[in-house]
C-alpha cells in the first residue's frame, strides 16, 4: 500500500511542477514553492515504513525543492535562491503563528477528536516540524552555492544536478535527523535513519533529472 502511495506521490509532484511551469513559467515554480513549503512540516511528522524501512514522510516534496531550486538557479542565477528562502521563511512564520495561536485558544466541544489531533500536529514542542524547515533552508542555500560553482566548472545539466544532489541530500538528511531525533533515539538508530532517508532521496533526485530536462525543453 505504502509503495503504491509513494509512486502516486512522486508522479503527483512531477505533474504539479510540470503543470504549474507550463502554465505560469518561473512564476509557477514560485507558486509550487509557496504551496509546498507550507505543508512540508506537517508531512514530515508522519513516519511510515517503505520496504520495511522507517522514514519520515515529506521526503519526496523535500527532494523536489532541490530540483525546483536547481531549475531556478539554472534559469535565473544563484541570487534566486534568496527569494526562495524568503518565501519559505515568511510562509512558515505566518502558518506557525496562526496555528500556534489557534492551539492556545480553547477547543470547541464540536468535532473534539479532530480538534485534539490538530493541536498535536501543530504542537509547539514539535521538533520534527522545525527540523524539516531548518534543514531545508540550510541545505537549499548551500545547494545553490554549490550548483553555481559546479556549473561554472562543468556546464552539463545532468552532471551539475547529480553532483549537487549526491552531496546536498546527505547534508539535508543528516541535518534533519540530528535536529529531529538527536538525544531522543540511540546513535545507531540515528545513523540508520540518515542512511535510509539519504538512499530514498538520492533515488528520487536521480529520477527527477528527467523532469529538469523536460522543463528545459518547455523553455522559459
Partner 1 sequence: MNIMLFILMIILAMFFVFISLSLFEKEGLKYVYIIYNIVSFITSFKILELASININASIITSSLFYLLTYIISIKSSEEEYKKIIKQTLCINIFLAISIFIASLYIGTVNGNSAINMKYLYLYNYKILISYPILTLVNQLAIFIIYNNIKEVTKSEIKNTSLSCLTTLMLDSILFNTFSYIFKLDFAEIIALILSNYLIKVLITLIYIFIAKLLLNNKKVKL
Interface with partner 1 includes 31 (CB under 8 A)?
yes
Cell 544532489 appears where? 165
Cell numbers found for residue 39: 505543508
Largest CA distance in the chain: 62
User: Looking at 75, 107, 171, 178, which residue binds partner 1 (CB under 8 A)?
Assistant: 107
End-to-end CA gap in the chain: 38
Task: Tell me if 57 contacts partner 1 by CB under 8 A.
Answer: yes
* Residue of 77, 102, 156, 158 interacting with partner 1 (CB under 8 A): 102
Number of Cβ within 10 Å of residue 184's Cβ equals 9
CB closer to partner 1 out of 101 and 152: 101
If one asks whether residue 54 binds partner 1 (CB under 8 A), the answer comes out as yes
Q: Is 202 in the site for partner 1 (CB under 8 A)?
A: no
Buried b (16+ CB within 10 A) or exposed e, 26-37: eebbbbbbeebb
The binding track of 71-100 with respect to partner 1, each residue x by CB under 8 A or -, is ------------x--xx--xx-xxx-xxx-
User: Would you call 54 helix, strand, or coil by DSSP?
Assistant: strand
Cβ contact 9:63 at 8 Å? no
Q: CA 68 to CA 179: how far, in whole Å?
A: 24
What is the closest distance, in whole angstroms, from the C-beta atom of residue 29 to partner 1 in the complex?
12
Q: How many residues in total does the chain contain?
A: 220
Residues that bind partner 1 (CB under 8 A): 1-2, 5, 8-9, 12, 16, 19-20, 23-24, 30-31, 34-36, 38-39, 42-43, 45-49, 54, 57-58, 61, 83, 86-87, 90-91, 93-95, 97-99, 101-102, 104-111, 113-121
Amino acid at each position: 500500500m505504502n509503495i503504491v502511495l509513494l509512486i502516486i506521490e512522486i508522479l503527483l509532484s512531477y505533474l504539479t511542477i510540470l503543470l504549474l511551469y507550463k502554465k505560469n513559467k518561473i512564476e509557477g515554480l514560485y507558486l509550487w514553492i509557496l504551496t509546498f513549503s507550507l505543508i512540508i512540516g506537517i508531512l514530515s511528522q508522519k513516519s511510515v515504513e517503505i520496504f520495511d524501512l522507517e522514514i519520515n514522510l515529506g521526503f519526496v516534496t523535500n527532494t523536489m525543492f532541490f530540483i525546483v531550486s536547481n531549475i531556478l538557479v539554472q534559469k535565473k542565477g544563484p541570487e534566486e535562491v534568496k527569494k526562495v528562502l524568503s518565501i519559505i521563511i515568511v510562509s512558515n512564520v505566518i502558518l506557525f503563528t496562526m496555528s500556534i495561536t489557534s492551539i492556545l485558544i480553547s477547543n470547541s466541544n464540536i468535532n473534539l477528536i479532530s480538534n485534539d489531533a490538530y493541536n498535536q500536529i501543530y504542537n509547539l514542542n514539535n521538533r520534527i516540524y522545525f527540523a524539516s524547515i531548518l534543514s531545508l533552508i540550510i541545505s537549499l542555500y548551500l545547494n545553490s552555492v554549490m550548483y553555481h560553482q559546479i556549473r561554472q566548472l562543468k556546464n552539463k545539466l545532468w552532471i551539475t544536478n547529480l553532483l549537487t544532489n549526491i552531496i546536498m541530500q546527505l547534508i539535508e538528511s543528516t541535518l534533519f535527523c540530528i535536529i529531529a531525533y538527536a538525544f531522543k533515539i540511540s546513535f545507531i538508530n540515528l545513523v540508520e535513519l540518515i542512511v535510509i532517508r539519504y538512499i530514498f532521496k538520492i533515488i528520487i533526485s536521480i529520477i527527477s533529472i528527467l523532469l529538469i530536462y523536460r522543463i528545459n525543453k518547455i523553455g522559459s
